[in-house]
Amino acid sequence: MAQAMLSKKNNTEIKTKIAVAHGDGIGPEIMKATLKILDAAGAQLEYEPIEIGEKSYLSGHTSGIDQNAWNTIKRTKIILKAPITTPQGKGYKSLNVTLRKSLGLFANVRPVVALDPYITSKAPNMDVVIIRENEEDLYAGIEHQQTEDVVQCLKLITRPGCEKIVRYAFEYAKVYGRKKVTCMVKDNIMKLTDGLFHSIFKEIAKEYPNIESESQIIDIGAARLAAYPERYDVVVTSNLYGDIISDIVAETAGSVGLAGSANIGKEIAMFEAIHGSAPDIAGKNIANPSGLINAAVSMLAHIGQTEVADKIKNAWLATIEDGIHTPDIFQEGWSTIKASTQRFADELIQRLGKKPKSLKSSQLQRGNGNIVIPDFHRKKTKKVLVGVDVFVDWQGDNPKEIGDRLKEIEAGGLKLKMITNRGVKVYPNGHEYTFCTDHWRCRFVGIEADTSAVPPMYSAIDPDRLILLLSKLHSQGIDVIKTENLYKFDGKRSFSLGQGE
């Protein structure tokens, strides 16, 4: 990012090169309006256009981007991107997810502010920033069909991923003068994955004693965020929850056409509107360019051009206050001009240098956007293998039948401890009402383990035993679809118990 900062040489301001993607649908219209505003405001930028999205997909690049575009992005390190259309049908990967993950854009930052009464909002005092983890969770996109009945998506939560995003949220709060960070997780159910996110949040929060911290379970958190967004300041959460709650708050503020988002990585950052390419209104010159304008404002703050960022943001607020509204936010009797996309941009340009009369004016100058996250250092832990979950495809419906059969197989010094179906224990001593699919998780542990102790005492086993067990199961005609090793890390059980185990 240092190269992207505004600098002066021989009294001439050096322009920051940025990659610009004009996008699909309404993309080119809102990008044209946004670039016109950036130029008029005096942003020190040099644009390098890249071709990504629909045309690239249809010319044979299944991820929607070609090598030239990658090269430009890696050189400029900053991207201003209009929305793109992902073609319908299988085989096309989402370009957004590809860009975020390939470029290490770990933090998705969405500030949402209500502009009531100028844009009617259900929560007139909301001013919230959602900071969403951007690279992992269920969006790892690792899915498999395992049996006729069952498909699976892997939820991957990592220590480096959690540390980066949680620290980013606290640093963001510090830099931008925010008072509180709320963590949203579902660790009452997902004790290992969401539990890791939550425990890292609590660890890191202690390093920021001047910033209030709180945690909420995502379901009640999302409900309260929708009902009382003004009670929140910065919210940090994992990828899927963040995707959902950021749309909830944007909609509560008045329109999806208003909010911009930043995708921040260690070296590269991408700025875009939160909405899509809106093909239903493309080419009509009626799209609201505000989301992309706000994204461009965040970009300017990120590269250190905070003065011009505040100038554009204040002119935008003044334009909205004056009732110059695109059709999506136009209110009869309240708005003064139903503006086209380009007219909105022209009206904003006329207001450059002005501040809003009653809305809170922009103070991006306070933050320099230059948040540095330390590199991750892995701590050494002691990992001990204590068993294996063998997943079996079996189309019977009586758990006792498969349980009694597997109980007889004591291969390599491993014994069957229990069987679950969709996580619920069905053998031994299951309930007759539990619905069973054709996907059985059969837990094998060392014969020395004391599984009747509370909590169970597991013994270390040799990995060779797993191979013997699998070979025996195979020879007995058991259809093994996958295995998952059971470990203790630093003496702690590191796998979940079955419900009812």
Give strand pairing partners of 153: 143
Closest by Cα among 249, 252, 238 to 184: 238
Stretch of residues binding ligand NAD (CB under 6 A), selected from 8-16, 82-90, 115-123, 368-376:
82-90
Least separation in angstroms between residue 39's CB and ligand NAD is 21
Least separation in angstroms between residue 212's CB and ligand NAD is 32
- Interface residue with ligand NAD, options 4, 45, 83, 478 (CB under 6 A): 83
| String of contacts with ligand NAD for each residue 202-241, x by CB under 6 A | ----------------------------------------
Least separation in angstroms between residue 256's CB and ligand NAD is 5
- Is 56 a residue that touches ligand NAD (CB under 6 A)? no
Give 85's DSSP letter: P
- Is 64 a residue that touches ligand NAD (CB under 6 A)? no
- Is 29 a residue that touches ligand NAD (CB under 6 A)? no
Give 481's DSSP letter: E
Measured CA angle at 341 (ends 335, 344), to 5 deg: 50
Query: What's the CA dihedral at 255, 93, 264, 241 to 10 degrees?
Result: 60
- Interface residue with ligand NAD, options 44, 239, 246, 277 (CB under 6 A): 277
231 to each of 123, 179, 208, 218, 227, how far by Cα in Å?
10, 11, 20, 15, 10
- Is 291 a residue that touches ligand NAD (CB under 6 A)? yes
Stretch of residues binding ligand NAD (CB under 6 A), selected from 127-135, 225-233, 273-281, 363-371:
273-281
- Interface residue with ligand NAD, options 96, 193, 294, 420 (CB under 6 A): 96
Please identify, using beta-carbon distances, which residue of 25 and 304 lies nearer to ligand NAD.
Answer: 25
Which single residue brings its beta carbon nearest to ligand NAD? 276
- Is 254 a residue that touches ligand NAD (CB under 6 A)? no
Stretch of residues binding ligand NAD (CB under 6 A), selected from 119-127, 285-293, 353-361, 416-424:
285-293
Please identify, using beta-carbon distances, which residue of 52 and 416 lies nearer to ligand NAD.
Answer: 52
Quick check: 34 and 289 in contact, CB under 8 A? yes
- Is 246 a residue that touches ligand NAD (CB under 6 A)? no
- Is 375 a residue that touches ligand NAD (CB under 6 A)? no
Measured CA angle at 415 (ends 413, 416), to 5 deg: 160
- Interface residue with ligand NAD, options 61, 110, 132, 275 (CB under 6 A): 275
Please identify, using beta-carbon distances, which residue of 213 and 298 lies nearer to ligand NAD.
Answer: 298
- Write the CB contacts of 95 (distance below 8 Å, at least 6 apart in sequence): 52, 53, 57, 63, 64, 65, 84, 86
Stretch of residues binding ligand NAD (CB under 6 A), selected from 9-17, 219-227, 279-287, 444-452:
279-287
Least separation in angstroms between residue 29's CB and ligand NAD is 9
- Interface residue with ligand NAD, options 16, 34, 86, 319 (CB under 6 A): 86
Quick check: 466 and 427 in contact, CB under 8 A? no
Quick check: 264 and 302 in contact, CB under 8 A? yes
Least separation in angstroms between residue 92's CB and ligand NAD is 10
- Is 280 a residue that touches ligand NAD (CB under 6 A)? yes
Return the amino acid letter for 200: I
316 to each of 34, 109, 117, 118, how far by Cα in Å?
11, 20, 15, 12
For residue 397, how many other CB atoms are within 10 A of its CB? 11
Size of the site for ligand NAD (CB under 6 A): 20
Least separation in angstroms between residue 273's CB and ligand NAD is 6
Please identify, using beta-carbon distances, which residue of 83 and 229 lies nearer to ligand NAD.
Answer: 83
- Is 256 a residue that touches ligand NAD (CB under 6 A)? yes
- Is 194 a residue that touches ligand NAD (CB under 6 A)? no
Buried b or exposed e, range 107-145, using 16+ CB within 10 angstroms: bbbbbbbbbbebbebebeebbbbbbbbbbbbbbbeeeee
257 to each of 73, 327, 382, 464, how far by Cα in Å?
26, 11, 50, 58
Please identify, using beta-carbon distances, which residue of 221 and 254 lies nearer to ligand NAD.
Answer: 254
For residue 385, how many other CB atoms are within 10 A of its CB? 17
- Write the CB contacts of 40 (distance below 8 Å, at least 6 apart in sequence): 349, 352
Please identify, using beta-carbon distances, which residue of 272 and 438 lies nearer to ligand NAD.
Answer: 272
Query: What's the CA dihedral at 93, 241, 437, 439 to 10 degrees?
Result: 70
- Is 328 a residue that touches ligand NAD (CB under 6 A)? yes
- Is 85 a residue that touches ligand NAD (CB under 6 A)? yes
Stretch of residues binding ligand NAD (CB under 6 A), selected from 153-161, 280-288, 308-316, 490-498:
280-288
- Write the CB contacts of 9 (distance below 8 Å, at least 6 apart in sequence): none
Least separation in angstroms between residue 109's CB and ligand NAD is 14
473 to each of 290, 302, 449, 466, 486, how far by Cα in Å?
61, 57, 21, 10, 18
Closest by Cα among 485, 477, 420, 481 to 148: 481
Measured CA angle at 209 (ends 208, 212), to 5 deg: 90
- Is 281 a residue that touches ligand NAD (CB under 6 A)? yes
List interacting residues with ligand NAD (CB under 6 A). 26, 83-86, 96, 256-257, 272, 275-281, 287-288, 291, 328
